Every structure is written in C-alpha cells, then in structure tokens.
Structure 1
Amino acid sequence: MTSVLALTAATAQADAFNRIASFPTHLNNAEANAESSAEIISATADGMTLVYSDSPLEVIGLIDITDPANPKAKGNIAVGGEPTAVSVIGNTAFVGVNTSESYTAPSGMIKAFDLATMTETAVCDLGGQPDSTAAAPDGSFIAVAIENERDEDLGDGRTGQLPGGFLVTVDVVDGSLDCDTVNVIDVTGIAEISPEDPEPEFVDINAAGEIVLTMQENNHMVVATKDGVINHFSAGQVDLENIDATDERGALVFTESQPNRLREPDAVQWIDDNHFAIANEGDMDGGSRGWTIFNKDGTEVYENGTGFEKAIIAAGHYPDKRSDSKGVEPEGMEFGIFNDTPMAFILAERSSIVGVYDLTDPSAPVLAQLLPSGVGPEGAVAIPGRNLFVTANEVDLIEDGGVRSHVMIYELTDAAASYPQLTSAGTDELIGWGAISGMSAGAGSTVYAVNDSFYGYQPTIFTIDTATTPATITDATVVTRGGHPAQKLDMEGVYFDGEGFWIASEGRTDRMIPHGLYHVDMDGNIDAEIPLPAELLAVERRFGFEGITRVGDTLWMAVQREWADDPENHVKLVAYNLETEQWGAVHYQKADPDTGWVGLSEIVAHGDYVYVIERDNQIGGAAVTKKIYRIAAADMVAAPLGDDLPVVSKEEVRDLIPDLTSLNGYVVDKIEGLAIMEDGTAWISTDNDGVDDSSGETYFWSPGKF
C-alpha cells in the first residue's frame, strides 16, 4: 500500500510551506557521538550554503543546500571560543565569539571567515561578551549586542550585576572587518529596570541603516544609528487571560491569568523601515507568551496576546511543564517577503513549532500555518529567492539516547500544508491535548484515543473525527472516579464496546499506579475495575499493558516487554474472559533489538486477524523496528497462567518507517495508537510525550485498508 501520510494531513490551504529535509548536525562532525547544536543560522548570498553556530563544538557548521531536499555536510570551522551568533554577507561569515573568563570579566570578539577557503580573515576585540549579530542589508556594517550576561546564581538571579552591556558596530570593508571602525554605543541610564546594567539580547538593522535592539531583562527597546541612540522606550506589559499558569499539575487547564506580564523580548526583526516585531520570551520576570509589533517611535501597532499560544494548544504542542513560567516561549523570529507577501516566522522554543504570519497589514497579522520543527528552535533564516525557510534546532539529547540537533528546511510551493495532522481547532471550547496513546474505532468516521500518565490528573478520552482534513478532536471526556478526575491511571489502551470503553492501564510501580482493567461509561465514569490476578502480579514489571481489544467474550491486552517469567524476546498477550472471569495468555516473539529494546504498543482485532504494533525505543537514524504485524485470530487460544504458553505466529503487514519519514523530519520513537474502522481503514498515531524532550509532533494518518 502506498503511504498517504502527507495526503491525509493536507488542508484546503494552497501556497504553503512544507518541510522538505532535515539535517542532523552531528553529520558535520568527525566524532558523531559528540554533542552538537545548531543555534543561530544564516545563509550565503546565493542561498546555497547554510551557516550555523554550534556552541558545544566551538565551531560554525556549513551545510550545502544546492539541492535543498538533499542537504549535505560541508564541514565545520573552529572559531576559537563559543560562537553566539553568525551573520553572512556575500560569502563571508561574521561570528560573535564569547571568550569570557567569568561573568565579571566578560570578553569576546567578532571574527570574519571566508567560506570559500574556510579561513579567518579578520578579528576585532569587542570588549565584552557578544550575544547576537546583525548585518546591514547593504552589507556595509555589522551590529553586535554585547550582553555581559548576569550570573543567575547570584543576587537572586537579578540584574544589577556589573559590568553592563552595550551595542557595538563595526564597518565591513572589502568583504571583511575594519577593526579601526569598532564603535561602542552606550545604552546605560535609559531603562526603568536596572538602568545601570543593560543586558542587550538581540539586534537587527533595517534598509535605512537603523538598528533596533532588545534589552530583554530590562524590558526595553532601543533604536539607534551608528552615531548613537535616537529613540528608546519600555517594551511594556500584557494582561494574560485564559492561560494555564500552574506547572507540574499533569493537566491542561486554561482558566487562569497573569496580569501585568512584562514582555521581556528576545528576538527582534524589522518588517519595514518603520515597524519591527518582537518575540516576548521573557527571562527574569516576564514572558507574555506572544509577540508584538511596534512603530519605531514607540507606538504599539499590534499585540498577539494569547493567539499564538492558543493555536499551538490546538495543534497539540503545548508544553505543560512550562505553564508557570513562559508557556510556549516565543524566542526566535525571522522575517521575509515571499511572493510579495511579507511574512513573520515566530519560533516557539519550548513547543518546537513555528508560526507563519501574513503581515500584509502590520496592524492585523494573520496566522497562515504552523510548521513542525526540531526540539528547541533557536534561530531561523528566510531565503525568499529560493522559496526556502530554515530553522536551527539547538537541543541535542545524545546523552539521553534521544533526538539529535537538527537543521530543518521548508519550501513554499502551491501544495497544501501537510501539518498538523491532528488538531482541536474549531471547537467551541479550547481543548488541550498531547501524549496520545491507545486508540479504538468508533461508529462512522470516529476514532477514540486516550492520553497516558503524562497527564496524570487529567486522564482523557478524545473523540476524533477522521472525515476532516486534518483530523479533528471534537470532544474530550475526562475519566472520573466518584465524580473527580481518576487518579492512579496510565491509560495505554482503549476499546470502544458501543456502550462505553474498556481501558488498559499500564501500571507504574515507581508512581504507585497499579496495572489493571477499567470499564468507563460514555460520560467518563469508571463503573468497573478489574485488578490483575496474583499469578500476573507475581511476575509483573513496569512495562505492562499497551493496548486492549476484544475477540468474542475475551479482552486481549498486549504486554509491552518481558515480565519476570517470559523467555528472552517473548512477551505475553494476556486474555481475560468477560463471561468466565478467567485469565490466560499466549506468547508473542518480538524482534531481537539491535540497540535498546523492542516491545509492543498496541493490539487491535479486526476480521480474521489481531494486529499489533511492534516498535523499538530508538529515534532518528537509529530506528529499526516500527512495524505492524498480524496474528490469525483462530490462533489466539489462551493457555492458563502458569502453564507453558503457546507462541503465536506473526505476519508483517507494514513497515512504518517510510511513513514516518514522509514528512521529512526524523523518525520518532513512539508509535502508540492503531484503530481499524469497520471497512478496514486503519488510522495510526504517535505519542508526543506531552512535548517533554520531544518535538511535539503527533503523526496521525491512514495507510489505507488492512
């Protein structure tokens, strides 16, 4: 069967950006197991080479995108310190390099590198720790924000720690730096917050040669020329309503508020000679979760409020563990004009997603689409001449066996948008969701899905309409016990029986969550609880039930990994007869893992077969086993627990790795959900871990009929 992953996610929108390639930055390293990170990114004038800063390796990395759908490693250039930013003019990279000995003795340089020869051509002392750089559109000079950042472990992490920062400009002559023109612009004494200790964060330059500078912790904006400051004003504050402001609650509750929230902007971009936009990440006291457009005279032109965050919530990318801090955390930003349409790209660092806004009217931007990115998008570059947009995603989880840092490339074409594939947009009441686990077919085009213990205080059954494109979550039913959200559940499987739902709870002994079966009525009330028998509890391990289905009078549950009495690479398919209340099991032989482990994550009965998802816990290029197998239902004859269990035969139905690469990202590890409709149409989903050390992407697609 041909993959239709992209087609099932298409929207009615045309002229959209879609991801065409992902480049893991460790491919540029001689030592692939070393930590690497793509942070700030730029491009050569011809748009054929990407250049990104890589702090862990103290290099700038180069990527050949002559064929943007097939990026190639082009090597690294050592810069002699921590690269904090890079701007490219022509074929020369200008790199801010932090060489500070301490917070109290900051130092740094701006260096120029010829990208053709990969050699250093100039170096200028900056007298402080550089944070960001910007190149004048005409290539005549570079501006550098000198942050001289504070020590967050001192003074309650607050500003007022000298030396303060400043702004530097340096001319570019004959393609390199003229260090005799290094010019320091003083920005002390102008902010209301710590005027003696400015901490410049981000800088940009317009076509008129005017510089805009954010001073994040000072919550202040500066407009300057090379001759000095020409205007400055507070970045202001925002009243946030209907947000989730409580961290570590294990539930998405958008009924809270944060009044008078300081913006504390990070990135800034000119959108024309009179207007600029800021991303309100926050740091010390603030973070208004959105973005703002100002006139350079200080007049507020547009405030996004919670609009960006709500769009991210509907797409399943809301990072609940950041609720009490900065929510989706807009940090990076880029601007470009594509097909005569001015566009702002807002990077939500903690949500790993990018909002694309049409700025035809700067006072009323329109969200055009959301782009899935890697973990922690930090920088971006627009290449309108090639209809390309690129993100640099800084998080490298090599130490945890997770996803590596990636550069991701998107192209604007007349094709429809391929993401998101599942959304709650359009409902009367905002529905937050994530960590989709087990699934079950309902009537007509309905699929039911459950979340897992990431949302331990909000166990929820989601109703999904698969007839829409993308598929739409239309309702969310909280599972309750005694009228309150049920505790001690880890819902990893669901089966719709026409009158309610059978739920398989995996069990987490480290969290005092028992293994068990539950029946839930259509209103979400638990009306039956079935504990595991002593024979199973005596051999149980953490990795328990992952999926539940029904064949005749028997419920079948897949156990993810071996329990104490299982042979190596064999797991139980556990049976519970609803009429006799007898337990039994068969054995299923899973793949011998190359790395990590392999287990089962779903079980679904349809027609003459029982289907299971078998997957490893590997991600990206290390992924090997992401497959659907089937077992003849006639072979599912359970033996009593404690007896020798028969081993069922399996037949491969589909390798899911090609599906998982069809959106040109990396292969995610958690294929968790499978539902098969009455006509045999299958739907498959992934678990995004509640956007915790995850890109937040949820794949939800149909491979056709089984």
Structure 2
Amino acid sequence: MKRIGIVVLMAGVLFSCQERIGKGVPVFTNFSEVSDIDISQGGEGAAEISAYDPMTQRLFVVNNELDSKVNVIDFSDIKNLMDLPGESIDVTPYGGGVNSVAVKNGLLAMAVEANTKTDNGSIVIFETTNLITPIQVIPVGALPDMVTFSPNGQFIVSANEGEPNDDYSVDPEGSISIIDVTDGFSYQTLGFGAFESQKEALMDQGYRVFGPEATLAMDTEPEYVAISANSTTAWVTLQENNGIAKVDLLGKQITEILPLGMKDYSKKANVLDPSDKDDAIELGNWPLKTYFMPDAIVAYSVGNTDFLITANEGDAREYDGFEEESRVEDLMLDETAFPNWEELQKKGNLGRYTATTISGDLDGDGDFDEIHGFGGRSFTIWNANGAMVNDYKTLEMDLINTNSSLYDDGRSDNKGVEPEAVEIGTSGGRTYLFVGMERADAVGVYELRGVGSIEFIQLLKVGDAPEGVLFIPEEESPNGRATLVVSSEDDGVIKVFQN
C-alpha cells in the first residue's frame, strides 16, 4: 500500500490561498470575523440551523439544548448581536423538537418532529412580524429534518427522515412534503413506494436498502433539500441510503432516485488517514471503498444547466435493535482478496477503521471480499442527474496544510473531519463555496469558477461542531456587506464573518 505523508505549511486561524501558501508570498484573508454570540446555557444542541429575515433584521436559530425553542437574535447591528429572549419561540406546543428553520418573504417555517418521533411531524409557519401565533400548522411525514423555501417563495419543501424507533419495532416511511404558499398553503406528502420495483437495480448502483424487514420506502431517509434557481426542481439527499431524490415541484412527483456509488481509496488520488492509533496524521491509499452518503446539498446553475454540491459526511445506523458498524480488526476478511489481512488489521493500519457489516461480502460466503466505509471526506459537484463532475478530494489536506491543530486524529478511524454543511454565495463577482467540517470546528472557503473548477481560499475557525452555515448577500445584509453566519451545536456559539 502507498502512504502519502503530509507536510504542515502554516498554522493559525484565518488563512487565504488566493496566493499559494508555502511559497513565501504574503497571506491575506477574504472573510474576517466581525462578531459572535453564545446562546447556550452550558449544554449541547444550542445553535443548530439559522435563518435570516432581512425585513425585520432578525436571525432565527434552532435551539434544542433544554426545552426546544427558536432563539431570535437582533441582527441590525452586526457587530453587536443581541439575543431577544422575550421573542424566542417555544416549540413544545407543536411537537417534540424543532430541527430546521427557513425564512422567505416575511414568513418563518419551522420543521417540528412529533413528541413520538415516528409519528407524523409538522411545518409550523409564522409571519416574522408576529411570532405569537402561527398562521399555519401543516402536517407532514415522520421526523421532518430540514425545511426550505424555493427561490421564488412559492414552495416550502421538507425532507421527512422517517427514522425508526430505537428497538426498530417501528420504522415509518421516509417522505418529502411540498407546500404551495401561493395556493392557500395547500400541501402534499410524497413517498417512495413507487420505487420498490427498482430496488435491485438501484442497489446494484450503490443505493443502500438494508434495514431489518424494511421496504425501500421504509428504508429511505430524506435528509436535506436543494432547489433549482427557477424553483421547478428539488434534489433531496438520502444520506443513509447513499442517494439523491429528484423532485418535480410543479408536478408534485419524485421522478428519480440517483444512486451515488462508491469512492475507491486504493486509487492514487483518493487518500485518507484510517487510524486513530498511529500517532500521526498520515494520508494514504488503502484497500477500501466508502459510500459518499451526503448530508447538506446546494444547487447552482451555469447558463441554463443545473449542478449540485454535496457535503459527504457519512452516517451509519446505530440503534439498540440494529447496528451496522464494526472495526476492521473484528471483520473476517477473505484471504484471497486480502492476502496481507493480518497486517491490515493492525491498529495502526486499518484495524481501527469503522466499516459496515451489511455490504462487502460479495459472494455470500460469510467473509468480506471488500471493506466498505462511511462518507467521502470530501465535497462533490454532480450534474442534475447525479453524474459526478468533480469530487474535491483534498478537503482534509487543505485543513491539515493550513492549521494541523484543527485536525482531530481521534476521528481518523470514523469519517474524519465530517463535512456536514455546504453553502454557496456570490460577492464582488466571485462565487464562494463554504464547507462546514463538524469534527474540525472549521469552515473551508472556496471559490467556484464555471462548472466545476474549485480554488481553496481560506480556513475559518468557528465554534464547536458547526451545524448551520448561512450566507447573506450584500443586498440583504444590515450593513451592505456579504455575510457568513456559522452556528455550532456543541457550544452554542454563532460566529459572523464578512467579506
């Protein structure tokens, strides 16, 4: 096996690669921190997803630290943020917890799960000028995990994950709900039952259907939504399943499931550090494949052609009633496929790496002919039909080369930096891509040029476990400057950066 050592070039908090780091040239930043605010009371889950309303200059932040609520923050003076506890929204009258918020045209939409998460949830809608009484409470599928508005404000779309309960005795179907704001908030919830006949073909292309006694509809778990610039098409990540659903918003129909295949780490360009016990940050090639399993997704267009960008976090199913993870050292490896299996299973090599037990036994004889893992440790550009344009393979290398102290080697064996959030925005004629890395407490800033050319710009140090990354364009910003808001769930810190 070939190992590629990493040379640390510079360390710090904010760095730019507009001019290449390490060549003796001046280093400058494009985004600088201007303020922050801590909304926690010492626990976790205090600053998850954020949404901004330019009409009231308020920031709305999901807070599940104690009783579930949405914090309301005065954002009018961007350098002096103020939490407004008297205006916060108590979510408990509407269900068991809020998972996501979105704002458009003076409306605030909240995705609220039921008190029993396997029951159907709700999208609760307020006017941003009246946070006392909702104007609509709309039933959707089980466990609405993400909600967003279409760019034209016509549609509200929610991804209803439909997770099972802990002993896996109840497994509701995953679904996608479409609410038409312009038609009196009419709504429709779409399931995946029509794709049952395609299950084998989809699985042959890398789609995962594997829950105990689950149909494809039960096993499919929608995660995150992106919508085309013309507001006619949505793409919804199906994280645990390693796919994307394509949705016709006008026709109210899921038209396709797009399997995402696998990433082969035996290929020279694909490198990772698979061990937390090797006392080194050492990226290299290994005989394993991983599912991309994206969390967040954004859409953009070049001309009239749509493209997608996913943050390939990875996610395994871990329940009392079913668990798919195993260390490679505990797998029975096929000795023909892995003639050096004893060496591979050492803790400093692949032994500590977390793999799935539900795939990899290609011939069904009880041992593993391939090792399959979780997440791409990257972000990827796809076309509108799920074909790969560019897998940005050096996300972790950018972090390590810029500030190696932010790389948590203790997570090397399990999904690495965990790219979870992705956002896109335009400022000064440049298109920026922001990638939140949950296990590195950092956001990578990139410039996107044309269809798929990507340039690393800088690294931002943020709070503990960034969950929400929000871009506010100049025309909506309180002070007329492009703004990035990063909310972190493990410490409740919201950081604001401006261009």
Q: Report if TM-score (shorter chain) is over 0.5.
A: yes
Residue equivalent to 2:433: 344
The 5 A counterparts of 1:96-111 are: 96-102=111-117, 105-111=118-124
Deviation at 1:208, TM superposition (A): 1.8
Q: Does 2:184 match 1:184? A: no
The residue matched to 2:282 in structure 1 has which SS? coil
The corresponding residue for 2:176 is 167
SS in 1 for 2:130: coil
- Structure 1 stretches lacking a partner, 5+ long: 1-5, 27-31, 156-160, 397-404, 413-706
Q: Work out whether 1:138 is the aligned partner of 2:163.
A: no
> Match for residue 82 of structure 2?
72
Amino acid at match of 1:62: V
Query: What are the residue-to-residue correspondences of 1:48-87 with 2, within 5 Å?
Result: 48-56=57-65, 57-75=67-85, 76-80=88-92, 81-87=96-102
Counting only pairs closer than 5 Å after superposition, residues 3-402 of structure 1 correspond to structure 2 as 12=26, 16-26=30-40, 32=41, 37-46=46-55, 48-56=57-65, 57-75=67-85, 76-80=88-92, 81-102=96-117, 105-119=118-132, 120-151=134-165, 154=168, 162-173=171-182, 178-179=184-185, 181-188=186-193, 189=195, 191-192=202-203, 193-194=208-209, 195-196=216-217, 197-209=219-231, 210-226=233-249, 227=251, 228-240=253-265, 241-257=270-286, 259-272=288-301, 274-284=306-316, 285-305=373-393, 307-314=394-401, 315-316=403-404, 317-385=406-474, 386=477, 387-396=482-491
Q: Partners in 2 of 1:100 and 1:78 — Cα distance? A: 14
- Structure 1 residues 34 and 222: alpha-carbon distance in aligned structure 2, compared to 1, 3 A threshold: closer
Cα distance in 2 for residues equivalent to 1:7 and 1:322: 21
Q: Aligned partners of 1:323 and 1:8: how far apart in 2?
A: 23
Alignment partners' CA distance in 1, 2:430 and 2:43: 41
SS in 2 for 1:66: coil
Amino acid at match of 2:84: K
1:152 CA drift (Å): 6.1
- Other-structure match for 2:323: none
- The answer to whether the 8 Å contact 2:119/2:142 transfers is yes
Distance in 2, matches of 1:205 and 1:8, equals 31
Quote how far apart the aligned CAs of 1:354 are.
0.6
Percentage identity across paired residues of the two chains: 27
Q: After superposition, what is the alpha-carbon deviation per residue over 1:51-89, rounded to whole angstroms, capped at 9, x for unaligned? A: 111123311111112121111112311122311000001
CA shift for structure 1 position 325? 1.1
In 2 relative to 1, CA 367–33 (structure 1 residues): closer, same or farther, beyond 3 Å? closer
Mapped partners of 1:33, 1:286: distance in 2: 31
Rate the CA distance shift 1:47–1:408 in 2: closer, same or farther, 3 A: farther
The one-character-per-residue Cα deviations of 1:265-288 (angstroms, maximum 9, x if unpaired) are 100000225101000000125211
| Matched position secondary structure for 1:217 | helix
Structure 1 residue 336, shift from structure 2 partner: 0.9
Cα distance change of structure 1 residues 9 and 101 upon mapping to structure 2, 3 Å threshold: closer
1:260 deviates by: 2.0
Within the candidate set 411, 426, 439, 2:498 is matched to 411
User: How much does 1:39 deviate?
Assistant: 0.6
The equivalent residue for 1:567 is none
Structure 2 distance, partners of 1:202, 1:291, is 15
Distance 1:349 1:151 in 2: 25
In 2: Cα distance, 1:301 partner to 1:35 partner: 37
Query: Deviation string for 1:474-520 (max 9, x for gaps)?
Result: xxxxxxxxxxxxxxxxxxxxxxxxxxxxxxxxxxxxxxxxxxxxxxx
The verdict on how the C-alpha distance between 1:381 and 1:126 changes in structure 2, with shifts beyond 3 A counting, is same
Offset of residue 361 of structure 1:
2.5
Q: Displaced runs of 4+ in structure 1, greater than 6 A?
A: 6-11
How much has 1:299 moved relative to structure 2? 2.1
Label 1:216 to 1:41 Cα distance change in 2 as closer, same or farther (>3 A).
Answer: same
Q: If the length of structure 1 is used for normalisation, what is the TM-score?
A: 0.51
Q: 1:199 touches 1:217 (CA, 8 Å); kept in 2?
A: yes
- Change over 3 Å in CA distance of 1:258–1:322 after alignment to 2: farther
Paired position in structure 1 for 2:349: none
Q: How far apart are residue 207 of structure 1 and its match?
A: 1.9
Q: Check the 8 A contact 2:237/2:296 in 1, yes or no.
A: yes
Determine helix, strand or coil for the equivalent of 1:368: strand
Greater RCO structure (CA 8 Å; 6+ sep): 2
Offset, 1:117: 2.4
* C-alpha distance 16-346 of structure 1, shift in aligned 2 (>3 A): same
Rounded Cα–Cα distance in structure 1 between residues aligned with 2:135 and 2:28: 45
Q: Distance in 2 between matches of 1:256 and 1:151?
A: 38
Q: Contact conserved, 2:276 with 2:410, CA < 8 A, in 1? A: yes
2 CA distance for matches of 1:87 and 1:138? 14
Instruction: Give me the CA root mean square deviation.
Output: 2.5
Highest CA radius of gyration, 1 or 2? 1
Contact in 1 for aligned 2:446/2:458 (Cα 8 Å): yes
Write the distance in 2 (CA, Å) between the matches of 1:55 and 1:171: 28
Deviation (angstroms), 1:229: 2.2
In structure 2, relative to structure 1, the CA distance for the partners of 1:274 and 1:7 (3 Å cut) is closer
State the distance in 1 between where 2:455 and 2:13 align.
Answer: 25
1:21-62 Cα distance to aligned partner (Å, 9 max, x none): 111013xxxxx4676511111111348221111123311111
Measure the CA separation in 2 of the matches of 1:131 and 1:100.
14
Q: Is the 8 A contact 1:135 1:204 kept in 2?
A: no
Q: Does structure 2 retain, via aligned residues, the 8 Å contact 1:170–1:183?
A: yes
C-alpha distance in 2 between matches for 1:163 and 1:293: 31
Q: After superposition, what is the alpha-carbon deviation per residue over 1:536-571, rounded to whole angstroms, capped at 9, x for unaligned?
A: xxxxxxxxxxxxxxxxxxxxxxxxxxxxxxxxxxxx
Q: 1: distance between equivalents of 2:431 and 2:164?
A: 36
TM-score, normalised relative to structure 2: 0.72
What is the DSSP-based 3-state SS (H/G/I as helix, E as strand, rest coil) of the residue aligned with 1:144? strand
